[in-house]
Amino acid sequence: MLELIVSPTSYNLVENCDLCDAFILGEEQYSLRLAHYFSFEEIVDLMNICKNRKQKIYIAVNKIVHEDELDKIDKYLSKLSGLDIDGIIFGDLGVYNLARKYNLVNKLIYNPETYVTNYESVEFFAKKGIKKVSIAKEITLDDVLLIGSKELIDIDILGHGALNMFHSMRDLVTNYFKFLKDENANKYHNEQLYLIEEIREEKYPILEDQNGTHVFSEKDLCTIKYLDKFIENHIYGIRIDGIFKSDEELINIIEIYRLAINDYRLNKQLYIDKKAKYLENLENIENIRPFYEGFLFKKTIYKGGENGKN
Amino acid sequence: MEKIDGIINNKRVIVKKPELLAPAGDLEKLKIAIMYGADAVFIGGKEFSLRARASNFSINDIKESVRFAKEHNAKVYVTTNIIAHNENLFHLEAYLSDLYSCGVDAIICADPFIIETAKRVVPNLELHLSTQQSTTNSEAINFWFDEGIKRVVLARELSVDEIKAIKSKAKADIEVFIHGGMCVSYSGRCTLSNNMTDRDANRGGCAHSCRWNYRLYANDDEMLSDKLGYYNLSSKDLMAIPFIPDLIESGVDSLKIEGRMKSIHYISTVVGTYRKLIDDYCIDPDHFVLNNLYFDEISKAENRLTSVGALAGKPTENEQLYNVRTEKPTQEFIGIVKGYDEIKQIATIEQRNYFTKGEKVEIYGPGFMKQFLTISEIFDEEFNEIDVARHPRQILKIKIPFKVYPYDIIRKTREL
């Protein structure tokens, strides 16, 4: 059945939410773009709470690792190897190499966000003995289902949340205010701002943090209507990403996905009949970020033409 | 580890000279790059390659490229660096076999599907890992080395100190970008173009959305960007001249110039400058002086603002490009020499830009040769005298009182 995985917005939320099957937890210095960062002690506490409720814990070690951080990551993996965790999410293949030392390879979940876009690539990582692969969010529903149907390895995808579109190592907000000779150039560091391109209307969230600068889609991907297809084509998990959400908004979203999966479990027709209702319930969540279908029905163009701004 | 330097006649010299790798968008550019000193060139075939518009080498073109390169002791690498979708998983085997039978020296790839297929179909073809994988540490390099990757092109986010540290631990050969356009994001991890235009950045369609104009707002809708200007994400182009000595001393294996879309004027100038710089340094590193010569020469071809990227550490506002409209005209490229009649002192040239009688020009060629001239007589192919050369690619004859060679390039002298 489809695992409901949540990237949470706070300690409180994890402490009190038993609706999902798994949480993604991470510390600021090892992970990227989490809605909330935890201390190691908090992670250990929450793990004990979650274990009692039969929820899984995946630890995010998904940062892009620079050479001088290898030791730090190595030590962290050693520390994690002593915990009863269910998975380690990584996006840099250096982490794979280090994990071998601690017999952690079978806990690894490869999520580089943009790179896993075909079933041959999935098979490559399946053969590396890892636990799971997260496939890219920039491919169509047909492609997602085709990859799943090959049953190569446990696969999850983004179920609900913002699409990260851009990650620079540079401090692109602070740099800009320095360029403007602003005396307090880093005043927006760690603050969510947004961008609008000069001939477009979309508002893209932009966030500068300790890992550089990230730009996101205006809307959240929403897959509530396709859970049956995921289940039937061997997609084993969906991630609900808490980024840019309050605890309340996130809990409301989790509840609706939980209900939908449970409905399917009871009776597939019930789930199908209620699709419009789930959507309506999502839309009715106060302050919810607008949502859309991302790339599920938008095939990107292989190679560019002469068109488009350049 | 390989020996980088040695003592010859009581003088330290560099014995491990890194490869100078240049881009080639077509056959003419490839020949120019090699003539002006590139040890290797990279080209794009019609399939599986990024930079759609610069990837136009047919299999026959690739054959000719390899033939020309071998004749001049140079190597040819072919980019097969897309991140494939399911629909792109076909016809690769035949394509790789064709590339292998053409005699190419390596392919540059990023998708495990392409790597695995190549290992199976053309096991003797060398594999280089593209910068699209944004490789930033030695453990990731060694992962790929164990998968059969001979060389890794490093991410463009690394300082020269990081590159040195990586080089000392990496099992694979290391290639480093030294010049040209830069992604401001980690390469391969950006989908701005996919999201904003449907054009797939990882499949050759990047629309360069990072270079567009934006406005920046606070969450309460207050506009934070300059009222008169824009907010930009873009990076200045890379220009690594000041770091070439350090990179050579670090023992990296290849120094790469970006720009398969660039003109032969650009390629000849940039390749020629780095060729001279590398050679000058390697022959006598302890007395080498990084003088203005290199900077002045390369600036003749540059029309975009440049910086050292991340080589000096995390980029600041000085490495950002904040107003796109700062391009300056390059020194004008007016023609390329096709032949020379020593008796008549007449050069045959192909026109590339408008020029007239009386034009003051600089003629330069491989080996950093430069000569200056005022054009006194211009003739068409039938030796009718003309005053103005206005037809693109017209074959012309001009009087030049000193010997010039095919592939020499003529450009206007910059007005000071």
Q: What are phi and psi of B273, to 5 degrees?
A: -70, -50
Q: Are A225 and A254 in the same domain?
A: yes
Q: Element (H or E) spanning B371, and its range?
A: strand B369-374
Q: Are A137 and A206 in the same domain?
A: no
Q: Give the residue from chain A lying closest to B316, CA to CA.
A: A175
Q: What is the pLDDT along chain B (416 residues), one digit of tens a residue?
A: 689 999 999 999 999 999 999 999 999 999 999 999 999 999 999 889 988 777 789 999 999 999 999 999 999 999 999 999 999 999 999 999 999 999 999 999 999 999 999 999 999 999 999 999 999 999 999 999 999 999 999 999 999 999 999 999 999 999 999 999 999 999 999 999 999 999 999 998 999 999 999 999 999 999 999 887 899 999 999 999 999 999 999 999 999 999 988 999 999 999 999 999 999 999 999 999 999 999 999 999 877 899 999 999 999 999 999 875 556 666 689 999 999 999 999 999 999 999 999 999 999 999 988 999 999 999 999 999 999 999 999 999 999 999 999 999 999 987 64
Return d(Cα B201, Cα A166) in angstroms, integer: 11
pLDDT tens digits, A102-123:
999 999 999 999 999 999 999 9
Q: What are phi and psi of A109, to 5 degrees?
A: -120, 115
For residue A287, being part of any structural domain is answered with yes
Sign of CA dihedral A163, A300, B78, B37: negative
Of B86, B165, B205, the CB nearest to A119: B86
Quote the pTM value: 0.95
Question: Quick one: tokens of A217?
Answer: 């889609």
* Nearest partner of B162 among B324, B309, B350, judged by Cα: B309
Distance from B234 to chain A by nearest Cα, in Å? Answer: 9
Of A94, A139, A191, the CB nearest to B85: A139
Of B206, B216, B230, the CB nearest to A193: B216
Q: Are A46 and A177 in the same domain?
A: no
Q: Are A153 and A178 in the same domain?
A: no
How many CB pairs below 8 A link A and B?
241
Question: Quick one: tokens of B340?
Answer: 């020379």
Distance from A174 to chain B by nearest Cα, in Å? Answer: 8
pLDDT tens digits, A42-93:
999 999 999 999 999 999 999 999 999 999 999 999 999 999 999 999 999 9
Q: Quote the domain boundaries for residue A188.
A: 170-210
Are B191 and A113 spatial neighbours (Cβ–Cβ below 8 Å)? no
For residue A146, being part of any structural domain is answered with yes
Best probe of the B interface among A169, A221, A289, A293, by most B CBs < 10 A, is A169
For residue A38, being part of any structural domain is answered with yes
Return d(Cα A260, Cα A269) in angstroms, integer: 11
Q: Give the residue from chain B lying closest to A307, CA to CA.
A: B207
* Nearest partner of B244 among B235, B255, B230, B233, judged by Cα: B255
User: Do B86 and A196 make contact, defined as CB atoms within 8 angstroms?
Assistant: no
Q: Are A275 and A246 in the same domain?
A: yes
> In DSSP terms, which residues pair with B371 in a beta bridge?
B363
Are A178 and B317 spatial neighbours (Cβ–Cβ below 8 Å)? yes
Q: Give the end-to-end CA distance of chain B in Å, rounded to a whole number.
A: 49
Our count of domains for chain A comes to 2
CATH number at residue A253: 3.20.20.70
> Looking at residue A307, what is its pLDDT?
39
Residue whose pair of structure tokens reads 């947004």 in the numeric block: A194
Check whether A309 has a pLDDT greater than 60. no
For residue A262, being part of any structural domain is answered with yes
Q: Are A158 and A174 in the same domain?
A: no
> In DSSP terms, which residues pair with A291 in a beta bridge?
A220
Q: Are A178 and A265 in the same domain?
A: no
Return d(Cα B193, Cα B210) in angstroms, integer: 8
Return d(Cα B350, Cα B334) in angstroms, integer: 8
For B10-45, give one letter per residue: b (16+ CB within 10 A) or e.
eeebbebbbbbbbbbbbbebbbbbbbbbbbbbbbbb
Check whether A308 has a pLDDT greater than 70. no
For residue A278, being part of any structural domain is answered with yes
Q: What are phi and psi of B281, to 5 degrees?
A: -70, -45
User: Do A64 and B208 make contact, defined as CB atoms within 8 angstroms?
Assistant: no
Return d(Cα B197, Cα B206) in angstroms, integer: 9
A:48-77 residues touching chain B, CB 8 A cutoff: 64-70
Q: Are A204 and A117 in the same domain?
A: no
Q: Are A110 and A242 in the same domain?
A: yes
Are B52 and B204 spatial neighbours (Cβ–Cβ below 8 Å)? yes
Of B202, B207, B233, the CB nearest to A310: B207
Return d(Cα B350, Cα B335) in angstroms, integer: 5
> Looking at residue B232, what is its pLDDT?
95
Q: Are A245 and A150 in the same domain?
A: yes
Question: Quick one: tokens of B198?
Answer: 């449907």
> Looking at residue B228, what is its pLDDT?
79
Query: Which residues of chain B lie closer than 8 angstroms to A124, CB-CB?
Result: 112-113, 115-116
User: Do B143 and A117 make contact, defined as CB atoms within 8 angstroms?
Assistant: no
Are B246 and B288 spatial neighbours (Cβ–Cβ below 8 Å)? no
Q: Are A116 and A95 in the same domain?
A: yes
> In DSSP terms, which residues pair with B14 in a beta bridge?
B5
For residue A215, being part of any structural domain is answered with no
For A269-278, give one letter per residue: b (16+ CB within 10 A) or e.
eebeebbeeb
Q: Are A183 and A74 in the same domain?
A: no
User: CA separation (Å) from A8 to A162, A210, B88, B394?
Assistant: 14, 19, 36, 67
